[in-house]
Structure 1
Amino acid sequence: MKKLGAHPTGLKPDGSPMYTLPVIHDDSTGALISDSALIAEYLDKTYPTEMIGSKTAPFALLLLPQMIREVVNGPSAEYVTRNYLPRFGISSFATWTMSEEQRVAEWEKVKEFLGSVHAMMKAEDRWIMGDEVSFADFAVGAVLEMLKTLFGKDSEEWKGVVGWHDGRWGRMMTELEKYSAVY
């Protein structure tokens, strides 16, 4: 990362620079950007038609507590707590709870976000940008995959999501399966 000239994404406990992935180098502009949020902001600003990357914030309050409680190890949970929770005015997910009313409101935000994407698309579109798979499809697909994994493929939450907007998100997830193989 240093050799590439990428900026550090944080500091190690000893104060030295920490470099993490992802990082992108945009050949068309020469930009070299590290940190997921900064990459998403750059892509949204530079390529506005790829408008999905940083727009997935409505998912955060539903996903982060589940991730910290069920998936993330201790040091990673501390990092997330220190670097992301303040953005939501939350000091600790260990003690934070969401009322049923708040939970319903957050799911409604997710549905509204996906509805805005759905509204941009034609009924026959397989992908967000039309006939070609794009970054936007992978960004939305990744967040949907997290929802499915954290809540469960048989959960009422997931069944609701795949049924929204004429079943578009279930179809998208099926289409994205061919890209999910790791070699």
Structure 2
Amino acid sequence: MAATNENPIIFYDLADANGKSWSPNPYKTRLSLNYKGIPYRTEYISFPDIEPRMEELGLAPFSATFPYYTLPVIADPSSDPNGKPTYVADSFKIALHLDKKYPAPHYPAIFSPGTAGIQHMLMTNYRMTVGAPIFPLIHPQILRIMDDRSIEYMRRTRGPRLVPLSEDEATEKWKEAREKFAGLAQSLALNDETGSTGPFMMGDRVSFADFALAGIFYWIRNVEGPDSIRLKEILEWDSGRWERLWKAIQEIENKSSEIV
């Protein structure tokens, strides 16, 4: 049974102090659902409530080490009217599930034929490329958008990650980020030479890799605000390549299939 407006997928997303979406990982799933046009309803959860909520749903831990549960998670309705939904965690696995359950051509594919393995390889190395130098710049700032319970929880469970970099360290990380983006842009420029010109990582074809990269922009925008100097600089890098990608992704974000 496919999700419908009356019986949509339930999408479990992280909430900020205002009960709104902000995190890059659930954002990938939000984009996956929007892109495929699958009806979904969002249930927002704060950090300290993730584990008890997942246990309440009867889900076994996703990891043998802390944190035992992470978001995003989806609950996809069963084809049996009396059956239980299928729960899927991890944004990449969710995208694979959605492509299998809601296949092309009726629904657009996130993974073009033959690209799932390559995209997984890219995602495996993702934190070691463009994401790695940006994480320590943004993560220490996330407390500013959280409610008091989440702030206490994060300080207790993620304390070392919340220590801000020194000015010199931050400058070095930003320089490293610039170099990583430049290297990625150089590789993507090869698409232009093969006639696949477009704003996405695969030229004119949307891929999960686009959602992952855009997650960085989304994260910075929500943590530092829409006037973030860092985001402005990134979007100007490499002759505006990242701004073109971001604008294309925002169209997917805004063309929502969410049931509100």
Q: TM-score normalised to the size of structure 2?
A: 0.49
Checking the alignment, whether the CA contact within 8 Å between 1:125 and 1:131 is kept in structure 2 is yes
Checking the alignment, whether the CA contact within 8 Å between 1:153 and 1:159 is kept in structure 2 is no
> Gapped runs of 5+ residues in structure 2?
1-53, 75-86, 95-115
Whose relative contact order is higher, 1 or 2, with alpha carbons under 8 Å and at least 6 apart? 2
Distance 1:79 1:36, change over 3 A: farther
2:228 matched to 1:151? no
2:72 matched to 1:22? yes
| Number of the residue aligned with 2:168 | 101
| Number of the residue aligned with 1:128 | 201
Percent identical across equivalent pairs?
29
Mapping for residues 1-183 of structure 1, pairs under 5 Å? 7-9=60-62, 19-23=69-73, 34-35=89-90, 47-50=117-120, 51-52=122-123, 54-55=126-127, 56-68=131-143, 70-81=144-155, 84=158, 90=160, 93=162, 96-122=163-189, 123=192, 124-181=197-254, 182=256, 183=258
Q: CA deviation at 1:78?
A: 4.6
In structure 2, distance between residues paired with 1:118 and 1:47 = 21
Q: CA deviation at 1:57?
A: 2.6
In structure 1, distance between residues paired with 2:68 and 2:233 = 40
Aligned AA for 2:135? Answer: A
After superposition, the CA RMSD in angstroms is: 3.7
Q: Residue 63 of structure 1: SS of its match in structure 2?
A: helix
In structure 2, distance between residues paired with 1:167 and 1:36 = 27
Checking the alignment, whether the CA contact within 8 Å between 2:137 and 2:164 is kept in structure 1 is no
Larger CA Rg, structure 1 vs 2: 2
Q: Residue 173 of structure 2: SS of its match in structure 1?
A: helix
In structure 1, distance between residues paired with 2:154 and 2:181 = 25
> Gapped runs of 5+ residues in structure 1?
12-16, 25-31, 40-45
Residues paired across the two proteins, number: 158
Q: TM-score normalised to the size of structure 1?
A: 0.66
In structure 2, distance between residues paired with 1:165 and 1:146 = 20
Q: CA deviation at 1:133?
A: 0.7
